[in-house]
Structure 1
Amino acid sequence: MGDRGSKTGDAAGDVAGDAASSAARGATARESGGPPVRAVLASVWPGLLLVLVGVVGFVLLLDAVRDQEDLWRLDDPLLAWMVAHRTPVATSVLTVVTNVFGPFVLPVLVAVGCVVWARRTRTWWEPGLLAGAMVLATLVSTVLKAVIARPRPPEVSMVVAGVERSFSFPSGHTIGAATLLLVGGYLVWHRHHDARVLAVWTVASVLVIGTVALSRLYLGYHFLTDVLAGLSLAVAVLGVVVAVSRVHDLVVSRAEAPAGVGR
Structure 2
Amino acid sequence: MPGSTLRSFHERFIVETRPVNATVKRNLFIISAVLVGAGLVFFFVILSSVLQKDDVSSIDAPIESWIDARRTDWLTVVMIGIAVVFGPIALPIIILVVTVSWGIFARHIWRPLLLALGTLTGVIVVQIITRLVGRQRPPVSLMLFGTDTTFSFPSGHVLGACDFLLLLTYLVFSRKKNPRVTVAAFVVAALLIFAAAVCRVYLGYHWATDALASMSLSLVILGLIVALDTYRTVRVRSEAGTQRPHAAVDTVGDQAGAHDPEQRHAQRHGGQASEGPVEARRSARVDGERSDGEEHAHKYQHDSLGHVAENTDEHDGGAGRARGH
Matched with 1:171 is: 155
The answer for the alignment partner of 2:194 in structure 1 is 210
User: What per-residue deviation string (whole Å, max 9, x for no partner) do you get for residues 87-116 of structure 1?
Assistant: 000001100101110111100001101111
5+ unaligned residues in a row in structure 1: which ranges? Answer: 1-38
Q: Which amino acid aligns with 2:122?
A: A
The aligned counterpart of 1:56 is 41
Secondary structure of the 1:153 match is coil
Q: Higher Cα Rg: structure 1 or 2?
A: 2
Please identify, of 226-235 and 109-118, the stretch whose mean Cα deviation from structure 2 is larger.
Answer: 109-118
In 1, Cα distance between equivalents of 2:34 and 2:85? 31
Counterpart residue number, 2:320:
none
Structure 2 CA distance for aligned equivalents of residues 44 and 239 of structure 1: 9
Question: By how many angstroms is 1:249 displaced?
Answer: 2.0
State the identity %. Answer: 35
Does 1 or 2 have the higher relative contact order (CA < 8 Å, sep 6+)? Answer: 1
Shift in Å at residue 64 of structure 1?
A: 1.1
Match of 1:78 among 43, 47, 63: 63
Map 1:1-263 to 2 at 5 A. 42=26, 44-162=29-147, 164-250=148-234
Instruction: Give 1:197 shift.
Output: 2.8
Q: Tell which deviates more after alignment, 73-82 or 220-229.
A: 73-82
C-alpha separation between the residues in 2 aligned to 1:140 and 1:49?
20
For residues 144-163 of structure 1, give each alpha carbon's deviation from its aligned partner in whole angstroms, at most 9, with x where no partner exists: 0111110111101111342x
- Note the C-alpha offset of 1:251: 6.3
CA contact (8 A) 1:55 1:233 kept: yes
Q: Which amino acid in structure 2 is aligned with residue 140 of structure 1? A: V
Q: Deviations over 1:194-248 (max 9, x none)?
A: 2243133122122100100010010000001000000000000000100000101
- Maintained 8 Å contact 1:181/1:204: no
SS in 1 for 2:94: helix
Supply the distance in 1 between the matched residues of 2:242 and 2:207 (Cα, whole angstroms): 55
**Cα distance in 1, alignment partners of residues 192 and 152 from structure 2:** 21
What RMSD over aligned residues (CA atoms) do the two structures have, in Å? 2.2
- Aligned residues of 2:176 and 2:182 also touching (Cα < 8 A): no
Aligned pair count?
A: 217
Shift of 1:44: 3.1
Which ranges of structure 2 fall in alignment gaps of 5 or more residues?
Answer: 1-22, 244-325
**Distance in 2 between residues matched to 1:194 and 1:251, nearest whole Å:** 20
Amino acid at match of 1:124: I
- The one-letter code matched in structure 2 to 1:60 is V
Moved more, 193-202 or 167-176: 193-202
TM-score (norm 2): 0.63
User: 1:81, CA displacement in angstroms?
Assistant: 1.8
One-letter amino acid matched to 2:219: V
CA distance in 1 between partners of 2:242 and 2:123 (Å): 41
CA displacement, residues 9-67 of structure 1 (integer Å, 9 cap, x when unaligned):
xxxxxxxxxxxxxxxxxxxxxxxxxxxxxx9x956332122111111110000111112
Asked if the contact 1:44–1:244 (Cα under 8 Å) also holds between the matched residues in 2, the reply is no
In the superposition, the TM-score normalised over structure 1's length comes to: 0.77
Contact 1:188–1:197 under 8 Å retained in 2: no
Aligned residue type for 2:171? L
Amino acid at match of 1:178: C
SS in structure 2 opposite 1:191? coil
* AA at the equivalent of 1:237: I
